Amino acid sequence: MSLAVELKREEEEKEKRMEWWRRAKFGMFIHWGLYSIPAGVWKDKRIPGIGEWIMYRAKIPVKEYEKLTELFNPVKFNAEEWVKIAKEAGMKYMVITAKHHDGFCLFNTRYTDYNVVKATPFGRDPLKELSSVCRKEGMKLGFYYSHVLDWHHPDGMGNDWDYDPAKKDFVRYFRDYVEPQVEELLTNYAPVALLWFDIGNRLPYPELARELRDLVRNLSPDTIINGRIGHGMGDYIEMGDNKIPEHKLEGDWEVPMTLNDTWGYKSYDHNWKTPGRVIQILVEVVSKGGNLLLNVGPTAEGEIPKPAVDVLKEVGKWLKVNGESIYGASASPIEVPTDALYMCTAKPGKLFIHVIAWPWYGELKVYDIPEKVRRAYLLATGDELSFTQEGTHLKIKAPRDPPDNIDTVVVLELD
Ligand code: GLC
């Protein structure tokens, strides 16, 4: 095969692979593991920072941290329930930590006994259970896998309090442990919609990123790979944590976002974003062309915290009414002034004007409309709105009571 033909085929495969993801726009991130037990507290001391980093921050020796396995018994875990929560929130994919930096495996693996089935009283395999429910419910499921940092494995990166960095053989860790485990995930938990790698910018060997990507491609060509695999080997760009780009961005990208200030559960972090805030964030991300992966950190009992569920429910209610303006929508084709009361998402022939501060004085001004507007109506109710257009400038008569105080969507049909 010539290089040109091969590149074309790769491009076509990618288009096919990315199709569902581009439409999905909104996913659930789940950080769950042994760190959910201390939940931000170690030996009666609150450990600052994100919850899943507690082993690192408190420099907990492997032998001590390992004992958490004896306490991991999340009897309230119910895969059906979690998938239902995601669905009701309007989320179209879920990504759960199969292995985070602490090295504990939330799945059954041949390559270490430090896993949920072999080492805990729980003895069940949450990823298996989630995978079967997701298949049944038509929910896309992906796995987070920490391929660079592993504070438990003697050759993994990051733990210099138990192991001497000079004695580590990272390549051995990668080839004899990471790659076989990724293979396990792809074969034993198929179909894997997405593999979410992390900290790839610290992966010292570009050839290992390529090797890992090729392994995924060969075993499971439909599995999407996120950008943090490193060295440009991903299918899409992963933004920094909680970082929304300032401007519209071409290409495929995603923002991972916390619902409070941690990924893994912390008992004393109550800084939940409100439903309104989450909706605004989602709209902003979609209006700039990206996806939002919003995190929940279940407790050691296996429950998604109630305040998180409550917020997600409200977001889901809004999406039920206004989903047309989000799923499959593209970035705003019009210039939105920074001080505007609205944001914009689009579909062919339609602009969705998301009014986040309703103009109580009765007139909504929208700028930079490229074509003649044929019709304007409220997405929630279908009510027609009268308007006047002067060139690219639209004045819409705004009814006194908007259907939604958080974000009322006005649809503009273009000629
Ligand atoms: C960071 C953290 C990690 C978290 C991730 C989520 O890279 O190291 O704990 O899982 O962000 O995006």
The tens digit of pLDDT for each residue in 58-117 reads 999 999 999 999 999 999 999 999 999 999 999 999 999 999 999 999 999 999 999 999
| Confidence tier at 1 by pLDDT (50, 70, 90) | confident
Each residue's pLDDT tens digit, 377-399: 999 999 999 999 999 999 999 99
Around ligand 1, the residues with Cβ closer than 6 Å are 31, 50, 52-53, 198-199, 241, 256, 263
Q: Tell me, in angstroms, the distance from the centre of ligand 1 to residue 410's CA.
A: 36
Task: Report the alpha-carbon distance of residue 1 to residue 380 in Å, rounded.
Answer: 52
Mean pLDDT, residues 120-133? 98
Is pLDDT above 80 for 235? yes
Mean pLDDT, residues 156-160? 98
Is pLDDT above 90 for 338? no
pTM for this one?
Answer: 0.98
Mean pLDDT, residues 162-171? 98
Q: Tell me, in angstroms, the distance from the centre of ligand 1 to residue 261's CA.
A: 12
Res 129: pLDDT: 98
Q: Which protein residue has the closest C-alpha to ligand 1 atom 11?
A: 241
Res 261: pLDDT: 98
Which of 241, 259, 260, 261, when mutated, tests ligand 1's pocket best, judged by the most ligand atoms within 8 Å of its CB? 241
Mean pLDDT, residues 339-367? 95
Atom number, ligand 1, closest to the C-alpha of residue 199: 7
Res 339: pLDDT: 82
Task: Report the alpha-carbon distance of residue 295 to residue 352 in Å, rounded.
Answer: 26
Atom number, ligand 1, closest to the C-alpha of residue 238: 12
Q: Tell me, in angstroms, the distance from the centre of ligand 1 to residue 198's CA.
A: 7
| Confidence tier at 371 by pLDDT (50, 70, 90) | very high
Q: Tell me, in angstroms, the distance from the centre of ligand 1 to residue 354's CA.
A: 31
Each residue's pLDDT tens digit, 186-198: 999 999 999 999 9
Which of 34, 35, 50, when mutated, tests ligand 1's pocket best, judged by the most ligand atoms within 8 Å of its CB? 50
Q: Specify the residue for token string 């390559």.
A: 111
